[in-house]
């Protein structure tokens, strides 16, 4: 079922793309996270996953 509501689609894409990825283990973290959420990892080095795949402002 395709999403026709452009506003809902925008929110869904934001939620999927705006996150941080741990350099060490590659797990997805919250955009506001400062450290990896994995208890064994705790790596402070997180990269942004913030690609604009058809998301225009």
Return the number of other C-beta atoms located less than 10 Å from residue 41's C-beta.
16
DSSP 6: H
| Contact track, Zn ion, 1-40, x by CB under 5 A | ---------------------x-xx-x--------x-x--
37/27 Cα distance (integer angstroms): 8
Q: Judged by CB, which is closer to Zn ion: 20, or 36?
A: 36
Contact between 17 and 31 under an 8 Å Cβ cutoff? The reply is: no
Q: Could you tell me the smallest distance in angstroms from the CB atom of residue 53 to Zn ion?
A: 24
Chain residues that interact with Zn ion, rule: CB under 5 A? 22, 24-25, 27, 36, 38, 41, 43
């Amino acid at each position: 079922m395709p999403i026709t509501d452009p506003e809902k689609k925008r929110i869904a894409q934001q939620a999927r793309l705006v996150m941080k990825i741990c350099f060490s283990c590659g797990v997805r973290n919250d955009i506001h996270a400062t450290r990896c959420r994995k208890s064994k990892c705790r790596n402070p080095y997180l990269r942004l996953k913030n690609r604009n795949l058809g998301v225009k402002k």
